[in-house]
Amino acid sequence: MADDSLLRSLKGGVLALTLNRPKANAFDDALIAALQEALKEAKREEAVRCVLLQANGKLFSAGQDVGAFGGGEHISFRAHLLKNYNPLIKQIRYLEKPVLVAINGAAAGAALGIVMACDLRIAAQEARFVVGFGGIGLAPDSAVSLMLPTLIGLGRATQAAFFNEPISAAQALDWGLVNAVIAAEQLAETAQAWAAKLAAGPIGAFGLTKRDFNRAVLSNLDEILDYEAHNQEIAGLSSDHQEGLAAFLEKRDPDYAKATKKVS
């Protein structure tokens, strides 16, 4: 049976990619692979002049589907990141065509990294942004450790990571995390208008501009992604993660102090 977790549509130079994995659009290997393939198409096909990333449902994406990891046995977080999210983030940043994202609801964890890797971000008024990793005893990955401080500042990024509190759409606009906040009923129309304007623009110049910005601001992207994968492997083996994941699956608050005492 065909995988319809990512819907594709090419019209007027705009390749629209729609996350379609109810109910939270959480990422599994198949959805990530579909996004990677779609971005390869965007790079290869001259007819694609702009990519618009969006999502069906009430949430943009809850991030990684932890249930997709299987029956509780440990997986290598480093191997997972090197196969999935690290290449995806680099594809978005190194694609020499504009990538616009429309955020209709919550974007958490790895989804936040994907959102921030895009060139332009439009959010619905109901959108919110959650670092998320600390909620299950992990460290940031998917370039969140680089992109979030770059966009909103180190102090705000640290608070968002440590307290794991949602950043509202209004805060995101004020802090520079998004470019515009739109009423939910106007989000799709506005995103299409922005994408059409980008597709009609000088794509070659846009690509060179992305090269410039990547060199000026994100020149260490590859290094940071690799370092995040290294630290996430450590975090994935920790008692913090064991307690955080258990609490998440059991729908309770984690007791990290107790978890730390178990191995002290």
Q: What is the pLDDT of residues 200-251, one digit of tens each?
A: 999 999 999 999 999 999 999 999 999 999 999 999 999 999 899 888 888 8
Q: What is the pLDDT of residues 15-39, one digit of tens each?
A: 999 999 999 999 999 999 999 999 9
The predicted model gives 165-182 an average pLDDT of 98
CATH superfamily of domain region 6-185+210-217: 2-enoyl-CoA Hydratase; Chain A, domain 1 (3.90.226.10)
Domain boundaries, the chain: 6-185+210-217
| pLDDT in the model for residue 69 | 72
Mean pLDDT score of the chain, rounded to an integer?
94
C-alpha 119: how far from chain center: 12
Identify any residues that bridge with 212 across adjacent strands, giving them in sequence order. none
pLDDT over 60 at 1, yes or no:
no
Measured in degrees and rounded to the nearest 5, phi and psi for residue 17 equal -115, 120
At residue 95, the 3 state secondary structure works out as coil
Note the pTM of the prediction, 2 decimals. 0.94
pLDDT over 70 at 188, yes or no:
yes
In sequence order, what are the residues at sequence separation of 6 or more whose Cβ sits closer than 8 angstroms to the Cβ of residue 53?
17, 19, 99, 100, 101, 102, 114, 118
Q: Please answer whether residues 136 and 110 qualify as being in contact, where contact means their C-beta atoms are separated by less than 8 angstroms.
A: no
Give the span between the Cα atoms of 106 and 125, in whole angstroms. 11
**Inter-CA distances, 180 with 147, 174, 193, 258, Å:** 18, 10, 13, 43
Half-sphere exposure of 16 (CA within 13 A, CB side): 19
Q: In 3D, which of 153, 154, 114 has the Cα closest to residue 132?
A: 114
Q: What is the CA radius of gyration of the chain?
A: 18
